[in-house]
Structure 1
Amino acid sequence: MNRHFEYVASVSGGLKIYNNNDAGNPTLVSTIPKSSLGNLDVINLYQDSIWLYVCLGNIWDTTEMAGLAIIDVTNPSSPQILDYYIYPGLTGGSGAVAIQGPYAYLAANQNGLIILDISNKNKIQFKSKLILDQHFPHSKTGSTSLYNARGIALQGHFAYVCFDRGGVRIIDISDGNAPIQINQYCFPALIDKATAYNNIVIHNHWAFVSIDYYGMEILDITNPKSIVQLGWWHPNSWTEATNDFNMWSNSAGHANELAFDPDCNIIYIAAGKSDLVAIDVSDPQHPQTCQTYGTPDDDYGTWGLDFYNHKVHIGYIWSPVTPPHSNYTGYKILQTNCKTTDVKTPTTNNKCAISPNPTTGYINVNLGEQKLKTITIYNLYGTRLQEHVKNEFSIANLPDGMYYLYIQTIHSSYVQKVLKQQ
């Protein structure tokens, strides 16, 4: 609607609406307290014209139910609650909502996917649900509280749901009365490690998925029944695949909500203690960090993010105990453009080439004019096997199979797959 209003999910503070007309001095114009919304915390928002769809129920406090509210924001100074619905199932809150036609698709934590009929905005009606299986992808399931439908994106008649420790689930929603899971995916390096699939956005046949301390994956979803990883972004300062809570907790960043800028081919990620990261994904096989905002050395941490009219809106959270640790709440608006984020069209000089691939052992990494820092070799389970500081090296002592090469240069990082075979 191109208005200067900010709609903020303030958790126990309810829904807050600010007027951003005066640059640098937003003014609170209205509040809907949680007491008016079934006494549930406000966790996430989705705006469609004059309607604001509000996810209810704290996803970190598993004692709250999951719900959805519809609010008319024709007049932001006097928003009107049209209806709210609370699902009478398991506790755990709701993490995100996607809208398509007359239905709302609610990522409802332990309740899985809930489909609601919103054709009448004044009367939300339950349509169906799908509880997601917790026996994928790990050999040991772990606590049921670790399997939560947190993020969701729709494309065609498929819903792509981030299921926390349970990876990504692909659900056929062509029959709204009987949604059915058709596929599931998890980064092999995270199997039997701490896993947190948090959020997802889709552009054409690419899915960009935030995976907490392990960065972001780029997946080819051309065939929803056969998901293929195209690329992986993971800064060197972020924690590697682990089951150690302290290592995970102390990672320099945690990837949470994200958004895609189609004009610049950039993904913006709310990166926890690292605040905001801009990633060039014009070559999805080689995502590169363009720019960062904030530092992991302060006590500020982000979770929420939105992108509109070439501005990034980032939301800070109060999280003194669980990662990403943060003792500051509020939001910031950052102006962006392709030039300031140093986005460049990829050329052969800023890519890396691996040869031979497949290999019997010898590997040459051609970085053009870029200066190499380190090359780290991982197996498919995320175990670090070797580290090299030269472009030519051998993996002849490793068993035949597929490996990841994490290549760090002075200004960029790359992830490449290499197949070793005799």
Structure 2
Amino acid sequence: VVEGDFAYIANREYGLLVLDISDPANIAEVSSYSDADSYTRSLAIQGNYAYLCDATKSIQVVDITDPHNPVGGARIDVEYPAYKARCNGNRMYIGLTANGMGIADLSDPAIPALINSIDPANGSTEDIGVYGDVAYIADNETGVHVYDISDELNPIRLSKLFAAGPLTDMKIHDDMVFITAQDGGVHFLDISDHTYPVRLASMAVHSSVYGVDYHDQLLYLAHWDGGITVNSAADPLNATAIGLYNDGLRYGRIIYRDGYAYAAAYQDGFHIFTVSNPQSPAPVYQNRFLSNTQDVDVANGYAYVCDYRNGVVIFDVADPANPDSLTLVPFNEQTRCVAVDGNRMAVLTKDPGFQLVDITDKTNPVKQGSHSFGTQPRDLDFEGDRIVFVDNVEGVALLDISNPASPEVLFEDDLHVKAYRVRLIGDTLYVASQNSGISIYRLLVTTGIEEIPSASTALLHPVYPNPAAGSVSLTYSLETAGTITIAVYDQLGRKVRTLHQGTMQRGTHSERLDLTGLPAGVYSVVLNAGTERAVQKVILR
């Protein structure tokens, strides 16, 4: 934590380290503080006090009035090791590794008093955050739990933001995102409001899913050790498998085109299935000679298949049952991903990284410009003359390829997540990570990207419970007093309920929303406050 000319560092078994950073070119250690058997994992500062989060189940108070001579003071005992601390006014919020979040009173900053704790789940708290009267507790097993803490002794759980486990693929169609998880399942997200993506439903499947495509209300899934399935997705609340071909192979990427599914089967090559009858998918072609098939794309009667050790094989699939192998585009090392747009093919490899290829002549492709980026390439996507790709370690890169021989780097950004899949639609970037769910970014070409923030002055929190039956709890926060309306709309945009219309004071408000009598389905709860508008989706069963 930086305060004025000093930086305060949580130094593990050595406690607190204080640096003088008044001259950034000559940073100097000025003091330290440690207590026997302590292990400082994090810290927070409020006024003249530092609060050290200790793995030995306590918060150590240190007086830093004189940064050159920190003095230890009181110690707050907590039930579990303290992981994070956040100070806000006369309150301190403490992340407890196995017990959610503690709340402490800092009215006397030298002797904090523990008021209460919130334990949402039996997982492990990774981080905490507080906005006004709303607390967010990130649990590494069960997602983000949201609480109204306006009454600290009786916190009210508002909602839980989903955690799907390590994500493996995603498909975006209109305002819907279909995401697949390594631990099994497909999750349906409504992204009509980018600031509040809403999980509408989840579908259980028979084995882990590594690939997904969507066409005409059907989902095509590639399973690890479980073949491929065709699934009805017309109603997210009742999505179900309707067709299965299970040969026990490990499938990754899957692409639907004109009644056929094209699938990468890793060590078992490249396979094509007829899915003209969704209830009975069946193989029509199997190529097991490819050494390690990582990815596949299909465009204009040709299939482009990544062979991990050799390069990209181009097939003529005018007759999917009898593909004709045209050529191999060789690469030096680890061919991971391929995407095709017109006569351009983009390939991700470990070396050289990104490679653009002219495929006007499918039998004689010509390599053009390249760009080195990262060591663990994962995915890429086209959008006109722009191409975006992600690396598991380095993050994301966006290139202008209007000059194919010399791609121009628009930006590179470390996203601080293990990026696994990426999609670029207009100026919006969607990134699925193995460890942090889905992030949505707005492209700012001159400066890079910014993560799309939540609504500002009028904050409508997720309803609880969701899905629901009968009535739900609705909480919203206003920064200024004013006239508001809260109404419920069906999927056709018709108003079906009005909850509130009139003047409200600033602050956080909670009300019950009665949905009795409405048919099952997805509804939008809309808050209008002056020029601000906030929307939350609710599923009524």
Distance 1:258 1:308 in 2: 12
Asked whether 1:260 is paired with 2:427, we answer no
- Shift in alpha-carbon separation, 1:104–1:330, aligned structure 2, 3 A: same
Within the candidate set 442, 450, 453, 1:335 is matched to: 442
Letter in 2 for 1:260: F
Give the C-alpha shift of residue 129 in structure 1. 1.0
Question: Counterpart in 1 of 2:149?
Answer: none
Asked whether 1:108 is paired with 2:265, we answer yes
Superposed CA deviations along residues 362-398 of structure 1, whole A, max 9, x for unmatched, are: xxxxxxxxxxxxxxxxxxxxxxxxxxxxxxxxxxxxx
Distance 1:175 1:4 in 2: 34
Give the C-alpha shift of residue 309 in structure 1. 4.7
Question: Counterpart in 2 of 1:312?
Answer: 429
SS in 2 for 1:17: strand
Letter in 2 for 1:179: P
- Structure 2: unaligned runs, 5 residues or longer: 1-171, 450-541
Give the C-alpha shift of residue 315 in structure 1. 0.9
Asked whether 1:220 is paired with 2:349, we answer no
Distance 1:267 1:172 in 2: 25
8 Å CA contact 1:212–1:256 kept in 2: the answer is no
- Structure 1: unaligned runs, 5 residues or longer: 58-63, 134-146, 239-250, 318-327, 343-422
Give the C-alpha shift of residue 228 in structure 1. 1.2
- Shift in alpha-carbon separation, 1:4–1:125, aligned structure 2, 3 A: same
Question: Counterpart in 2 of 1:55?
Answer: 222
Distance 1:15 1:151 in 2: 20
Within the candidate set 374, 389, 403, 1:283 is matched to: 403
SS in 1 for 2:335: coil
Question: Counterpart in 1 of 2:33?
Answer: none
Distance 1:213 1:28 in 2: 38
Distance 1:69 1:336 in 2: 35
- Shift in alpha-carbon separation, 1:22–1:206, aligned structure 2, 3 A: closer
- Shift in alpha-carbon separation, 1:177–1:3, aligned structure 2, 3 A: closer
Say which is worse superposed, 168-177 or 22-31, in terms of deviation.
22-31
Q: Which has the larger radius of gyration?
A: 2
Percent of aligned positions that are identical = 18
Matched residues, number: 278
Asked whether 1:122 is paired with 2:282, we answer no
Give the C-alpha shift of residue 341 in structure 1. 5.3
SS in 2 for 1:70: strand
Give the C-alpha shift of residue 28 in structure 1. 2.6
Letter in 1 for 2:405: Q
Give the C-alpha shift of residue 207 in structure 1. 0.2
Superposed CA deviations along residues 82-133 of structure 1, whole A, max 9, x for unmatched, are: 2122235xx4x11212222121111111221111111111221221211234
Question: Counterpart in 1 of 2:314?
Answer: 170
8 Å CA contact 1:130–1:179 kept in 2: the answer is no
8 Å CA contact 1:130–1:180 kept in 2: the answer is no
Distance 2:436 2:213 in 1: 20
Question: Counterpart in 2 of 1:413?
Answer: none
Letter in 1 for 2:421: G
Asked whether 1:18 is paired with 2:189, we answer yes
Question: Counterpart in 2 of 1:31?
Answer: 202
Distance 1:50 1:161 in 2: 26
Give the C-alpha shift of residue 167 in structure 1. 1.1
SS in 2 for 1:77: helix
Letter in 2 for 1:180: D
Distance 2:439 2:338 in 1: 22
8 Å CA contact 1:94–1:150 kept in 2: the answer is no
Structure 2 matches for 1:147-158, cutoff 5 A?
147-158=291-302
Letter in 2 for 1:224: K
8 Å CA contact 2:229–2:244 kept in 1: the answer is yes
Distance 1:259 1:110 in 2: 24
Letter in 2 for 1:332: S
8 Å CA contact 1:109–1:148 kept in 2: the answer is yes
CA RMSD between the two structures: 2.3
Letter in 2 for 1:11: Q
The normalised TM-score by structure 2 is 0.48
Distance 1:77 1:337 in 2: 36
Letter in 1 for 2:177: E
Report 1 or 2 for greater relative contact order, CA contacts < 8 Å, sequence distance ≥ 6: 1
- Shift in alpha-carbon separation, 1:17–1:155, aligned structure 2, 3 A: closer
Superposed CA deviations along residues 156-210 of structure 1, whole A, max 9, x for unmatched, are: 33211011112111122233223232211213xx2xxxx2111111111110011
Within the candidate set 188, 197, 218, 2:335 is matched to: 197
- Shift in alpha-carbon separation, 1:78–1:3, aligned structure 2, 3 A: farther
Within the candidate set 130, 147, 159, 2:303 is matched to: 159
Distance 2:350 2:251 in 1: 18
Letter in 1 for 2:259: P
8 Å CA contact 2:395–2:419 kept in 1: the answer is yes
Distance 1:329 1:14 in 2: 17
Higher strand proportion: 2
Question: Counterpart in 2 of 1:365?
Answer: none
Superposed CA deviations along residues 321-350 of structure 1, whole A, max 9, x for unmatched, are: xxxxxxx231111123656659xxxxxxxx
The normalised TM-score by structure 1 is 0.61
Asked whether 1:232 is paired with 2:370, we answer yes
Distance 2:425 2:216 in 1: 14
SS in 2 for 1:132: coil
